[in-house]
């Protein structure tokens, strides 16, 4: 079990109001409290025809058709040891009726998980990134709730709900289609007509205390940690397989295949080092995750200065 909440303080919440284009948006923050929060609803209430054959962790993420690569040499090493960035987070709770509703506690717990994992509280590097809840919207819209990536529904949802600039994290709580989640790499903010897609989409049931659908696998809120890693320009630890460049980070050992569960001693490449199964950017269970590395921290902070620094 993780003990990632020690020494963390929940930030004061600002008020945010949004009206969706295709559904009714209600519930804003008033004096730091969510209006009329609902309790979580189990996966049993989900429509059988929604197409969730890949759920349960077998289909972690979609292929978003992005171009992956190393940072330009001029961008590397710009962030020093004293780097820090406080990221405003706008949480967009999208539901189908009451299905997918989140309580105030479930939302603030997710922010705690992000702060814990990015601070190195589970044993990894302290990245210098912290997260402050800036606003919450609540939208009842079944089309958006079941939307997959790169379609009309994702575009309309994000056009209607997205707040802030490149430095703001927009986190959409939906079913994430048939996936656990997805996030676009930060260069999306530089592409004409695509900046609105920037943000993280996660399956609401991967958040702490929401349901038992992913019990013992993906139920500690660290799907969001993984996806925010992508949002900050990290690749999977198994990206590039056993090639020399791998995930463009020198201190993550080479890895040929993604991990399922927590198989200690897994070693899929001949280069030195066991597979980094405890790294947040592998596909291990949440209970197996413990770290970002110093190299990943440098890549994230350099990417922040290149793409997101206000």
Return the CATH number at 164. Answer: 3.40.390.10
Residue 114 reports pLDDT greater than 90? yes
Scanning the structure block, which residue is given the tokens 């993984």? 226
Percent of the chain with pLDDT strictly greater than 70: 81
| Confidence (pLDDT) at 244 | 86
Contact between 133 and 107 (Cβ < 8 Å): yes
Query: In this structure, are 183 and 246 located in the same domain?
Result: no
Query: In this structure, are 220 and 270 located in the same domain?
Result: no
- Residue range 5-15: mean pLDDT, rounded: 30
Query: In this structure, are 115 and 135 located in the same domain?
Result: yes
* Structural domain contains residue 45: no
| Confidence (pLDDT) at 54 | 40
* Structural domain contains residue 216: yes
Give the distance, in angstroms, between the CA of residue 138 and the centroid of all CA atoms in the same chain. 19
State the residue range of the domain holding 212. 1-34+80-233
Q: Which of 227, 235, 264, 291 is catalytic?
A: 227
* Rounded (10°) angle between helices 104-118 and 222-231: 60
Query: In this structure, are 222 and 111 located in the same domain?
Result: yes
Scanning the structure block, which residue is given the tokens 């001029």? 74
Query: Please, what is the average pLDDT of the chain?
Result: 85
* Structural domain contains residue 75: no
Query: In this structure, are 165 and 26 located in the same domain?
Result: yes
* Structural domain contains residue 266: yes
| Confidence (pLDDT) at 109 | 98
* Structural domain contains residue 50: no
Query: In this structure, are 228 and 239 located in the same domain?
Result: no
Tally of domains within the chain: 2
* Structural domain contains residue 265: yes
Query: In this structure, are 175 and 272 located in the same domain?
Result: no
For the chain, report the end-to-end CA distance as a whole number of angstroms: 37
66 is catalytic: no
Residue 33 reports pLDDT greater than 60? no
- Residue range 261-287: mean pLDDT, rounded: 97
Query: In this structure, are 186 and 279 located in the same domain?
Result: no
- When mean pLDDT is compared across 9-13, 42-46, 182-186, the lowest value belongs to 9-13
- Residue range 76-91: mean pLDDT, rounded: 96
């Amino acid at each position: 079990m993780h003990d990632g909440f020690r020494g963390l303080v929940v930030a004061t919440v600002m008020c945010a109001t949004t009206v969706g284009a295709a559904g009714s948006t209600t519930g804003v923050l008033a004096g730091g409290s969510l209006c009329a929060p609902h309790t979580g609803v189990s996966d049993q209430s989900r429509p059988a025809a929604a197409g969730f054959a890949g759920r349960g962790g077998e289909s972690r993420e979609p292929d978003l058709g992005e171009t992956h690569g190393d940072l330009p040499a001029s961008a590397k090493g710009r962030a020093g040891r004293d780097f820090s960035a406080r990221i405003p987070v706008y949480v967009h709770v999208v539901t189908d009726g009451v299905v997918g509703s989140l309580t105030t506690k479930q939302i603030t717990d997710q922010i705690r998980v992000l702060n814990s994992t990015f601070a190195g509280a589970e044993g990894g590097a302290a990245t210098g990134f912290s997260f402050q809840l800036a606003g919450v919207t609540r939208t009842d819209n079944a089309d958006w709730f079941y939307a997959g990536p790169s379609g009309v529904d994702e575009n309309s949802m994000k056009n209607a709900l997205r707040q802030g600039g490149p430095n703001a994290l927009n986190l959409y709580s939906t079913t994430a289609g048939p996936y656990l989640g997805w996030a676009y790499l930060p260069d999306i903010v530089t592409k004409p007509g695509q900046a609105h897609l920037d943000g993280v989409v996660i399956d609401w049931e991967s958040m702490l205390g929401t349901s038992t659908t992913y019990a013992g696998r993906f139920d500690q809120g660290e799907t969001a940690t993984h996806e925010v890693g992508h949002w900050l320009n990290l690749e999977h630890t198994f990206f590039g397989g056993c090639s020399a460049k791998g995930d463009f980070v020198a201190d993550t050992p080479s890895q040929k295949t993604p991990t399922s569960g927590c198989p200690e001693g897994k070693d899929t490449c001949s280069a030195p080092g066991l597979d980094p199964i405890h790294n947040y950017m592998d596909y291990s269970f949440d209970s197996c995750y413990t770290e970002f590395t110093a190299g990943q921290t440098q890549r994230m902070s350099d990417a922040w200065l290149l793409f997101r620094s206000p």
